[in-house]
Amino acid sequence: MSKLLTTMLAVTFAAATLTPIAFAAKHEMSKESAAALATACKGKKPGDEVTVDKKKVKCPDAKAEMKK
């Protein structure tokens, strides 16, 4: 029972530590990428897929851009 509890605690700690880092890295965008995304999404509908820096991304909603 002690090994199981220790293993579960270690897995929980690792998940809690790594999840915010992965989330932040995924959603952080440089100014150059944001400008390229804005240029690529010009004239497109929100949700349309475009290719920016060799990655497929969806065009954001105009309201989401205004909040930033």
The pLDDT tens digits for 13-64 are 887 777 776 565 555 566 777 888 888 888 888 888 988 888 888 888 866 5
| Residues 64 and 56: beta-carbon distance below 8 Å | no
User: What pTM does this model have?
Assistant: 0.45
| Residues 56 and 49: beta-carbon distance below 8 Å | yes
Domain that holds residue 23: 2-67
Domain count, the chain: 1
What is residue 32's predicted lDDT score, i.e. its pLDDT? 75
- Rounded percentage of the chain residues whose pLDDT exceeds 90: 12
pLDDT digits (tens, 9 = 90+) for 5-25: 999 999 988 877 777 765 655
CA pair distance 55, 68, nearest whole angstrom: 22
* Type of residue found at 48: D
